[in-house]
Amino acid sequence: MDILLLGGTAFLGREIARQFLSSGHSVTCLARGSQPAPAGTTFIKADRDNADALRSVARTAWDAVIDLTSHPVHAVRAVGELSSRHWVYVYSSSVYTDFSAPEQSEAGTVHDPLAAGWMPDMSQFGPAKIACEDAYRAMDQPVTIIRPGLIGGWGDWTGPDVLVPDKTQPTAILDVEDLAAWIVSCVTNSVTGTYSAAGQTTTLADIYQHCQDLSGMEAAIRVVDDQTLLDEGVNPWMGPRSFPLWIPDPSSRFTATLDSTAAIDNGLQTRPIIETLTAALRYEEERSTPRQAGLTDEEERILRKALL
């Protein structure tokens, strides 16, 4: 098949491209090229913020188009200008409005779609994603919409004692290779519909134990309470000066956990969390670029002084 991947040079996109290539398909990646495209793909450098970005791929009848955008205008342009037998839109479970209970299903309440074409800031992430979904649903063509939870594995840049947040917090990590393999399966087997997709629900305590076992670390785990971390300017979930996976807001406590029954019934297969963490550790040991999440050494030293 001829696959058009709108993106394809970063974490999930690279793995989707790799999985399609390893299955014998032809992959074209259209992206800004902030990172090198995967070997074996046809790369087209284009910025989708520009109105004519899709011109070079608009005359081809694609077997599948896979989109990873956050901006509704990108999705609207794609469905209006491209031709495809199957469409796949992937991004985030952030479309749901409430994560105060575990195992969110596809029937959960979602945000109202963003009216604007561009996501102005991350506070509008959920509404922007729903607007993108709606653009694809409006085509009345074969479309698969996937709402993954937290994704981990190789290429994941979120990564005398170790400071950690609340050990009891539930979490789940979906291996990037498993998600990409399922996307290929959805295309090859014509699986359509809307699906939540996540790894098996566990706790941060289990994650910490697995990490200790994998690294051979003998340092003690030192839990720091939520309010202290917030008072010291540590950010939840992701990004700079953060504790990845940590969610102190009770209404968002189960953000990473999703009911993936429908996805599993339609072919999603997930590996044990220990394998995903092993891949993440391997990437960390190989990584040559700056880490984009967590605390720097200096930020951790400042936090430790504040905890004395």
Nearest-CA neighbor of 65 among 51, 50, 48? 48
Q: Record the pTM.
A: 0.77
Q: Which pLDDT does position 188 carry in this prediction? A: 96
Residue type, 250: P
Q: Which pLDDT does position 155 carry in this prediction? A: 61
Evaluate whether 191 touches 249 at the Cβ level (below 8 Å).
no
Residue 304's SS3 state is: helix
DSSP 110: B
d(CA 247, CA 203): 12
CB-count burial class (<10 Å; 0-12, 13-18, 19+) for 147: buried
Q: Enter the tokens of residue 279.
A: 């891949």
Q: Which pLDDT does position 307 carry in this prediction? A: 87
Q: Give CA separation, 274 vs 44, 54, 166, 175, 281, in Å.
A: 36, 40, 20, 10, 10
Q: Which pLDDT does position 159 carry in this prediction? A: 47
Q: Give CA separation, 142 vs 63, 73, 81, 225, in Å.
A: 11, 20, 16, 47
Cβ-based neighbours of 37, under 8 Å, separated by 6 or more: 8, 9, 17, 29, 31, 43
DSSP assignment of 50-93: STTTTGGGTTSEESEEEE--S-HHHHHHHHHH-EES-EEEE--G
Is the C-alpha dihedral spanning 84, 27, 157, 197 positive or negative? positive
Q: Which pLDDT does position 283 carry in this prediction? A: 87
Mean pLDDT in order along the chain per 10 residues (308 residues): 90 92 96 86 94 96 95 96 96 87 88 91 88 93 92 63 90 95 96 96 93 80 92 92 92 93 97 93 84 85 86
d(CA 122, CA 93): 14
Residue type, 229: L
Residue 269's SS3 state is: coil
d(CA 139, CA 194): 14
d(CA 144, CA 167): 35
Name beta bridge partners: 6: 30, 67
d(CA 296, CA 301): 9
